[in-house]
């Protein structure tokens, strides 16, 4: 038992029954260790509209915009007084943009087999969260909340996880429709 991997859901907890996708009573198959190809797999990641090249242009234009007033005042003591503030503002912009790029490196891998569905979320700071269930018993909920339009969750194996939080509402609807169709196809094939 000590050699078996511990599966965790997107909330970071352990599922109550690791055998939720093992009806046969034999050894538990870890869907994250499977070698057989999934019936369907998709990798989700957030969209970033500003490319690396665009980031360089933004920083260059911002530096120029901060430097122009300082150049006009270059012969006065006011330039020396304003220069640190311009530098701090430019440094803050750079830092927040880098942080935004780093947060954009989150990915969610969804894999579907006839006997298991697995979601693996890789966060930018290295944390990996895992959830797995039997697709026959998974509920796909697309709900409207006060704060989130088309909130997408998967419920199964005693847990509920959020899926594609970084996607647009339209992309979450499309993902839910596709996932429902794929799972329904599995049910028809049985």
Segment 161-173, tens digit of pLDDT: 999 999 999 999 9
> Using CA atoms, how far apart are residues 81 and 121, in angstroms rounded to an integer?
47
> Using CA atoms, how far apart are residues 109 and 161, in angstroms rounded to an integer?
13
Q: How far is CA 106 from CA 31, 40, 72, 101, 127, in A?
A: 21, 20, 44, 10, 10
Residue 23 in this model has a pLDDT that exceeds 60: no
pLDDT of residue 47: 86
The closest alpha carbon to 68, from 51, 56, 83, 58, belongs to 83
Residue 151 in this model has a pLDDT that exceeds 80: yes
Q: The pTM is what?
A: 0.70
Alpha helices (H) in 2-130, listed in sequence order: 52-72, 77-103
Q: How far is CA 137 from CA 60, 110, 183, 184, in A?
A: 53, 16, 10, 11
pLDDT digits (tens, 9 = 90+) for 32-62: 888 899 999 999 999 888 888 999 999 999 9
pLDDT of residue 29: 67
Region label for 83, one of left (φ > 0), alpha (ψ between -120 and 50) or beta (otherwise): alpha
> Using CA atoms, how far apart are residues 6 and 13, in angstroms rounded to an integer?
10
Residue 13 in this model has a pLDDT that exceeds 70: no
């Amino acid at each position: 038992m000590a050699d078996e991997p511990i599966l965790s859901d997107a909330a970071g907890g352990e599922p109550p029954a690791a055998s939720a996708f093992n009806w046969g009573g034999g050894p538990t198959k870890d869907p994250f260790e499977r070698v057989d190809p999934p019936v369907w797999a998709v990798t989700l990641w957030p969209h970033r509209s500003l490319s690396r090249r665009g980031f360089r242009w933004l920083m260059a234009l911002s530096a120029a915009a901060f430097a122009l007033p300082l150049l006009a005042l270059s012969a006065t003591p006011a330039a020396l007084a304003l220069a640190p503030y311009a530098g701090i503002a430019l440094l803050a912009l750079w830092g927040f943009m880098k942080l935004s790029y780093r947060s954009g490196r989150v990915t969610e891998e969804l894999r579907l087999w006839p006997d298991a569905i697995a979601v693996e979320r890789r966060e930018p700071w290295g944390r990996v969260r895992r959830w797995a269930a039997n697709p026959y018993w998974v509920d796909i909920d697309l709900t409207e909340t006060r704060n989130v339009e088309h909130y997408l969750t998967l419920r199964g194996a005693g847990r509920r996880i959020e899926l594609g939080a970084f996607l647009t509402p339209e992309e979450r609807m499309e993902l839910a429709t596709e996932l429902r169709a794929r799972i329904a196809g599995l049910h028809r094939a049985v």
